[in-house]
Amino acid sequence: MTHADHPVIQIQNLHKAYGNLEVLKGVDITAKRGDVVSLIGSSGSGKSTLLRCCNLLEDSQQGEILFKGEPVTWRGTGHNRRPADNAQVLRIRTNLSMVFQQFNLWAHMSILQNVMEAPLTVLKRDRDEVEHSARRYLEKVGIGDKCDAYPAQLSGGQQQRAAIARGLCMEPEALLFDEPTSALDPELEQEVIKVIKDLAAEGRTMMIVTHDMKLAADVSDHVVFLHKGLIEEQGAPKDLFGSPKSERLQGFLSATQPA
């Protein structure tokens, strides 16, 4: 099997705790090339923690994380477990672009500078090439006219679209979205949802933590319902949303339906 044949992301028996609080209790998730995997569940179910462990922003205590078939190398065990190879961590992080709930744009930089910063400083790419890519991705997300604006001059929806363009400009293998619309008003939310749907239609590999069941149903190839750090149910969107099997998922979906 070549690197191209391996899943982009594989998580096997992942455990994560903060002190005595177990947040993930043995989770397995795979995202193959072109897959859109959505993680749903109540607050505290472990969704965002799982995404952060995947991107090595959080250290897990047990289990394996593989990127295109390559396992993360660890040193130490339990709460002392850390990634052993900093170069590997950097390589994986730069290939898994994270889009956060809060947009995390640099306030003192223009939108164009925000999008260009990581490819220039982390990947050491050519400035002219990066600027061309940055402008193209800002056009792609519908804010090509905001290159010279600063974050404070943009709406929340425009800032989140700039954050997505910033992630795309790294030319990643996959995009990781952590509640990308939950900080937005409903009308601004739709701007961001359209961009995510367009990316899904292009066949981009994505993992999405979301509270928006319609988004999960519309864009996902696979949906995972987490409950108290374990996978309670998973499958194709039509199965999970159309005929949920577990009582917990049935209760969760009925609670998230609009009144």
pLDDT in tens, 20-62: 999 999 999 999 999 999 999 998 899 999 999 999 999 999 9
Confidence at residue 4, expressed as pLDDT on a 0 to 100 scale: 61
Confidence at residue 3, expressed as pLDDT on a 0 to 100 scale: 54
Q: What percent of the chain is modeled with pLDDT above 70?
A: 98
Asked whether the predicted pLDDT for residue 259 surpasses 60, the reply is no
Confidence at residue 30, expressed as pLDDT on a 0 to 100 scale: 96
Confidence at residue 182, expressed as pLDDT on a 0 to 100 scale: 86
Q: Confidence class of residue 2 from pLDDT cuts 50, 70 and 90? A: low
Asked whether the predicted pLDDT for residue 111 surpasses 90, the reply is yes
Confidence at residue 183, expressed as pLDDT on a 0 to 100 scale: 81
Confidence at residue 101, expressed as pLDDT on a 0 to 100 scale: 87
Q: Evaluate whether 250 touches 244 at the Cβ level (below 8 Å).
A: yes
Query: What residue spans define the domains of the chain?
Result: 3-256
Distance CA 131, CA 120 (A): 10
The model's pLDDT over 17-27, given as tens digits with 9 standing for 90+, comes to 999 999 999 99
Confidence at residue 25, expressed as pLDDT on a 0 to 100 scale: 97
Asked whether the predicted pLDDT for residue 209 surpasses 90, the reply is yes
Confidence at residue 108, expressed as pLDDT on a 0 to 100 scale: 97
CATH node for 3-256: 3.40.50.300
The model's pLDDT over 116-150, given as tens digits with 9 standing for 90+, comes to 999 999 999 999 999 999 999 999 999 999 999 99
With a threshold of 0.75, does the pTM exceed it? yes
Confidence at residue 99, expressed as pLDDT on a 0 to 100 scale: 94
Asked whether the predicted pLDDT for residue 1 surpasses 60, the reply is no
